Amino acid sequence: MTETLVATGYEPVGPVETPSGFSVEEVIVAGDRGPCGGVNMAVETAFEVLGIVAGREPVYTTHPIVHNKSIMEVLTDLGLIVESDINKIPVGSIRVMSAHTEDVEQTAISEERGMLNIDTGCLLVYKVQRAGLRAVKEGKHVIYVGTKKHPEPEGVLSVLPEGSYTFVDIDGDDQTLPHHGKVDFVSLNQTTLSTVGVVEKIKSLRELNPSLQIPDPEGICYATDNRQNAVRRRLEDQENPIHALLVVGSQTSHNSKELRNVGKNEAKIPSFLVDGPEDIDPLWFSPSIKRLMITSGASVLDEYLWRTVKYFTDRGTIVKFIPSTEKKPRINPETEEPVINSETGEVEYEERFFVGPDLTPLWERMAEKYGTTA
């Protein structure tokens, strides 16, 4: 069941030019959408660090904290400096690490250069990294499905010994895998990929390597999966069909592009990816597009989604909301498996927000150098 909202609170502030072909009558806003716990933690940490430093010295990052253009513009306006070459960052600098994690060699260099590293790496990415290390320790060969030149695969694979893994490009041609005789395999993947895409890639690897026992993949972020499935479920409703999909997210965000591809490649409907209303072309919406679904990627704050929704309410569109179903299982840190309630026998769930890194060293640094943290 959906909740209906007429444009209350989103009334136009003045005349709005609406092309004659614009006929979107109804916008459906996905309940499972927007920032995941890891993104919230990383962004909130970055803002807190910049607030503590208060412009008294530069704060660096070697990679965007999250793949979202709008968020990074705000952070850089507040003083965050993006410098991809870690050797160009001054010795002893404050550095906020990306939510995607990073190559361990880069971390080692920063420590050698006396930097204060503040790690906002996603806990789920680190979980995949630990799964890879555990598999190698057990004598298994890691099959890792990811995208080229993305910091997450670089960070995960940087801890694995050379020859212990095979990188499989999700967008590349199918490939033969090294034959390890009776050596077992484990299949891991980048957390921001599409479950459907990863499963299809593993299926094609099995067909190309029939003599190998390739296990099912593991590693899709629960938030990424929830957002994709929320769109799939709604697009399956043929009684009230969705005519087009609009995803709020950046072109640099892989999870946002995968979300757009659920509509574009799976449902075969017009599907668009925008950072905000300024990217919308009203000519996209032909007279046949009456009902539009809007969602947002896991690296998008809700304020950017609502700015986009307002574009449509300003033009008289009615908005409906699909209730959220997102839940994050509570994980046992020792077994890395969901915690089962002993009384009910059901999985326990926790808040979607992660606890950020300890900023005590930064406070102490500010107090020591400047005599105050106010």
Strands 291-296 and 271-274: unpaired
Q: 250: how many CB neighbours lie within 10 A of its CB? A: 23
DSSP 95: E
Q: How far is CA 355 from the centre of its chain?
A: 17
Check: CB of residue 81 under 8 Å from CB of residue 59. Answer: yes
Check: CB of residue 175 under 8 Å from CB of residue 144. Answer: no
The label of the residue with tokens 């008294």 reads 56
State the catalytic residues: 152
Q: Following CA atoms 332, 202, 153, 327 in sequence, which dihedral angle do they give, to the nearest 10 degrees?
A: -40
Single-letter code of the amino acid located at 125: V
Report phi then psi at 172, rounded to 5: -95, 180
